[in-house]
Structure 1
Amino acid sequence: MAKKPAAPKPQLVHIPTTSADNPALSKAQKEFNRLTKRISKLEKDVAEFREAATRLRQRVQNEYRPLQARHNEVRADLVRMLDRAHDTYKLTKGERTKIVSLLLDGCYDLLQKGHPDLQPIFDKYEEPETPEEAAAADAQTAEMMKQLFSRQFGIEFDADADVSTPEKFQAYLHQKMATEQAAYEQQEAERAERRASRKKSPRQQAAEEKKQAEEQNITQAVRTLYRDLVKALHPDLEPDETEKARKTELMKQVTTAYEANELLTLLRLQLELQRIDQTHLENLAEDQLRYYNKLLKEQARELDEAMFREQEILSGFTGKPYYYTPTPAAMDYDYARQKAQLEQKIRQLAAEVLAFEHDPAALKAFLKTYKVPKAGPGPVFLEF
């Protein structure tokens, strides 16, 4: 099968380091080269990370999810086997207590994972909760949630706040956050009003005017590039249909880059279309370079943010901090490791279920090593 042709590399945009007229680069020229090189690398990194993340999601859906379903099927077999053993094997009271713990503490989540048929088994061993126990559990949960939101969001709960149920907790939280947000907005409005009422000093006024002038010059620099490219590419002026289609696609790229203030993309297109050459870049005035460098810094910053967003999105999918899989290679390694672990877990559990089914002594030996988890806040999920 023929290999897919590699995507063309973007045009290199840099100022030559040596020439007869310019043997040494200025500080602004060196900054320009550094920024264009950095942006090119960031663009490549973001694109490769996004492709790898998409590939990972596809592999999880096509390979890992079926393995998880198979794992839960084997766990369901374990539940049925333990239920039969509880009723038919000659077991001690302690061993039966451990089986009940294995069922309720370790496998109850199977009801929400495609095995609602196990409900009668769990009902068989679950003791009904008394009103006092339910109230105590609700109070404990409410206290834990209060501590969590106090630590993470700095929310102070009133001593008499009624958060005894999830509904009451959510309602109180929304009211509290809305009150604090309103207070914050009021403070910001007052600060803005005070700032606006202050008379600017001549120095501050001059600095503000200089900043506005620079922003206008930066905008004009990008607009000049855009107009030059539009003049060269306007598809309505092209009689050849093939060339017209090519120019239409390039115009889309130009418009997208212009709207996003992507100076480097516009410069690449100018080089590609031979609207400028490296000598043109070398002879840019220092003021022009300074405007270009400001735009390039902003473009690099946006790409840094884009990479972080991609990592955060992937983190939400995997449930792991973004620094666990910062590169495509790290993604592939982590996925292969987790898949191998799950496959091994399935093989081991299936073998244990088979052994317990045919050999009560094997089950007894396993129960001897099993310790009933201590009661604590929240559910307990055991790994099988």
Structure 2
Amino acid sequence: MTKPSQHQVVQIGTPKEKAILSKSQKEFNRLIRKIEKLSSELHDLREATQHIQLRIQRDYRPLVEQYAQYRADMVRVFDRAYENKDFSKTEKKKLADLILNVAFELIDQYGIDDLKPIYDKYDTNGFDKTNTESDELTADLMKEMMSNMFGIQFDETVDLSDPQKMTAYVQEQLAQRESAEAERQQQATEQRNKKPKSEKQQAREAKKQVDERNITKAVRTLYMDLVKAFHPDREPDEAEKQRKTEVMHRVTDAYEKSDLLALLRLQLEFEHIDQTHLENLAEEQLKYYNKILKQQSEELDNEFFTLQNELAAMTGRPSFAVSSPIALEFSLNSDIAQMKRDIKQIKSDVKAFADPGLLKKWLKTYRIQKPDDLSFFDF
């Protein structure tokens, strides 16, 4: 994929001429530079995201699974220790708490089902029933949170037994609310439109309509100029027809996206305009170009923000830590290094805790967490 910065440079004037540029020309250049920068950053971040996703599956996920298996080995060590008559009642209580907490997570999140018989020894309900009760508790907490955040009232007859169903229900309720609000606004607009409009209101609406037509015309004019030059249908030479077809794909793609910058690049690339043409753009035309470029800039800003949030959710890092390919790579490398240290430590602990004396010593430092110690965010 070609990076945006490798395209034809679009700019009015030279650095030496900056002082004599008009306000509209300076704004044109500023928006072009911003779009170029955002496009390049988005390109790099998308490529980095694909690379990071590959590395997560190849380098990080196997380490996570290996760590989970060592934790499962630790559960088995605790289970054997519980059967040892040398452990006191208090120590066994701690071992049971550890087994229940760790085994539940490993079965639920990693599918290590051979721990179920061990779990069931310490929970009279058994894993399956406890898991169902846990899901119900989580669902109740989610209902409460969604009610507080969005004011959603949950129908008790609706099946919300898993996160997917809960998410679907919430999205449906929000969509219905948005639809109702849109209908309300539409009715309000219709009511306002029925009222006689002042001359100022009529003038503003007329100006808005003219601006919208001129903005559309500005993009369409560039598009039609390129279409006339590169439409392949009447081209007799097959090689040239193929070239024009490829150019037309680029032209059409830019037009469908209302990508003014891409159309200007194409005009410059194929010498349909030159630097003199850009410098002689009328102020009125520049005004409409700048409105289009401002909209493009805002769309790129939103896309970059959305991608950042997706990466933050995927990596569990704050947005600022995944704002660039370097930050993404550094973040993943840190996670991999930490996971390797964790594996080394738990491997050593599994071996050490096979010694009852060392395990007893460690259990003295372990504290069973009481329900009152849990905060909302622990769930």
**Smaller-chain TM-score bracket:** 0.7 to 0.9
1:333-352 deviations in Å (ceiling 9; x for gaps): 11111111111101100111
Partner of 1:98: 94
1:328-382 deviations in Å (ceiling 9; x for gaps): 111111111111111110110011101112x211111211111111125699989
Q: Which moved more, 1:304-313 or 1:256-265?
A: 304-313
CA contact (8 A) 2:230 2:244 kept: yes
Equivalent residue pairs, number: 371
In structure 2, relative to structure 1, the CA distance for the partners of 1:284 and 1:320 (3 Å cut) is same
What is the one-letter code of the residue matched to 2:264? L
- Unaligned residue ranges in structure 1 (runs of 5+): none
- SS of equivalent to 2:6: coil
Q: Which moved more, 1:187-196 or 1:249-258?
A: 187-196
Partner of 1:47: 43
2:244 pairs with one of 244, 247, 271: 247
User: Relative contact order: is structure 1 or structure 2 higher (C-alpha 8 Å, sep ≥ 6)?
Assistant: 1
2:70 pairs with one of 70, 74, 83: 74
- Unaligned residue ranges in structure 2 (runs of 5+): none
In structure 2, relative to structure 1, the CA distance for the partners of 1:353 and 1:183 (3 Å cut) is same
What is the one-letter code of the residue matched to 1:90? D
Root-mean-square deviation (CA, aligned residues, Å) is: 3.6
Partner of 1:336: 333
Partner of 2:281: 284
CA contact (8 A) 1:257 1:263 kept: yes
Partner of 1:223: 220
Say whether 1:270 aligns with 2:267: yes
Percent identical pairs in the alignment equals 44
1:108-152 deviations in Å (ceiling 9; x for gaps): 1211313101110000111339xxx99x98997676445422432
Work out the CA distance in 2 between the residues paired with 1:51 and 1:138: 37
Tell me the TM-score normalised to structure 1 length.
0.85
Within a 5 Å distance, the mapping from 1:1-384 to structure 2 comes to: 9-17=6-14, 24-88=20-84, 90-112=86-108, 113-128=110-125, 144-155=141-152, 184=181, 187-357=184-354, 359-375=355-371
In structure 2, relative to structure 1, the CA distance for the partners of 1:26 and 1:7 (3 Å cut) is closer
CA contact (8 A) 2:4 2:39 kept: no
Tell me the TM-score normalised to structure 2 length.
0.86
Work out the CA distance in 1 between the residues paired with 2:185 and 2:2: 55
Work out the CA distance in 1 between the residues paired with 2:226 and 2:75: 69
What is the one-letter code of the residue matched to 2:322? T
Work out the CA distance in 2 between the residues paired with 1:155 and 1:18: 56
CA drift at 1:8: 7.5
Work out the CA distance in 1 between the residues paired with 2:21 and 2:245: 37
Work out the CA distance in 1 between the residues paired with 2:326 and 2:148: 35
- SS of equivalent to 1:369: coil
